[in-house]
């Protein structure tokens, strides 16, 4: 059997800097010699990108919370089957910008769908696929949303459907992420209200620790530089 890879998800509200952190993390781990697959949700496949347009573009479409959940789950099925699953089966490190933690925060805490419903659908759709490490970047929603709006405008992107929701929604999302980090194993909460490079270094530190433990588990004779 091929060695199992390591699955790292970077989570957080819109504008918290997670996308930049994913890029920094993937480059840094690759430079250390890891085989890294960087991906994102919704997306990661052509089908996922098609569904992403429906989910994040500001249009006249008004999805019910359950419809939104089902679209996200459909994109995730494609993503896990075509990208995440094969990469993990071949022993690679997968770094994903959002995964089920975002579903629990946005469609759960934000939209009001029970966590049990989300978890049951997730298990039915993709099986027992959960990140080994989930890094949550936590930041003030008011400041983060403003950053996200400026970034989208500068890049001429129309992916502002969630940014246009009221601040109360984003506050619930933030609390949803915080509650996950407090009660679920394998979570690390990072203060995102600091300089970008400082946040990214903390993300890298958390991920590097997880990678070293994973490598040691695969090869007990191997020692990290800090253990040598």
- Domains along the chain? 6-218 (3.40.50.300)
The mean pLDDT value of the chain amounts to 90
pLDDT of residue 1: 39
Given a cut of 70, whether residue 43 has pLDDT beyond it is yes
- Residue-wise pLDDT for 17-31, tens only, equals 999 999 999 999 999
Given a cut of 80, whether residue 117 has pLDDT beyond it is yes
pLDDT of residue 128: 82
pLDDT of residue 162: 75
pLDDT of residue 2: 46
Share of the chain above pLDDT 90, in %: 75
- Residue-wise pLDDT for 127-163, tens only, equals 989 999 999 999 999 988 888 777 766 766 666 677 7
Mean pLDDT of 199-220: 92
pLDDT of residue 228: 45
Given a cut of 90, whether residue 214 has pLDDT beyond it is yes
pLDDT of residue 194: 95
Mean pLDDT of 62-87: 95
- Residue-wise pLDDT for 194-209, tens only, equals 999 999 999 999 999 9
Q: Alpha carbon 228 to chain centroid distance?
A: 32
Residues 68-71: contacts with CB under 8 Å, at least 24 apart:
68/107, 68/111, 69/103, 69/107, 69/111, 69/113, 69/117, 69/118, 69/121, 70/121, 71/42
63 vs 100: which has the higher pLDDT: 100
Mean pLDDT of 53-60: 78
Given a cut of 80, whether residue 52 has pLDDT beyond it is yes
pLDDT of residue 79: 97
């Amino acid at each position: 059997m091929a060695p199992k890879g390591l699955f790292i998800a970077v989570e957080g509200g819109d504008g918290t800097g997670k996308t930049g952190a994913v890029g920094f993390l993937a480059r840094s781990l690759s430079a250390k010699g890891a085989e890294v697959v960087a991906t994102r949700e919704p997306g990661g496949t052509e089908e996922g990108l098609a569904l992403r347009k429906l989910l994040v573009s500001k249009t006249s479409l008004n999805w019910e919370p359950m419809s939104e959940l089902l679209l996200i789950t459909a994109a995730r099925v494609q993503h896990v089957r075509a990208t995440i699953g094969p990469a993990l089966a071949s022993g690679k490190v997968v770094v994903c910008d959002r995964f089920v933690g975002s579903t629990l925060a946005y469609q759960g805490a934000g939209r009001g769908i029970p966590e049990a419903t989300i978890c049951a659908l997730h298990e039915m759709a993709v099986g027992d696929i959960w990140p080994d490490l989930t890094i949550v970047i936590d930041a003030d929603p008011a400041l983060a949303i403003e950053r996200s709006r400026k970034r989208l405008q500068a890049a001429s992107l129309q992916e502002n459907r969630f940014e246009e929701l009221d601040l109360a929604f984003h506050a619930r999302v933030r609390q949803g992420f915080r509650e996950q980090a407090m009660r679920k194993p394998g979570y690390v909460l990072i203060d995102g209200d600091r300089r970008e490079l400082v946040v990214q270094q903390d993300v890298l530190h958390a991920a590097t620790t997880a990678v070293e433990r994973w490598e040691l588990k695969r090869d007990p004779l191997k020692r990290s530089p800090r253990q040598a």
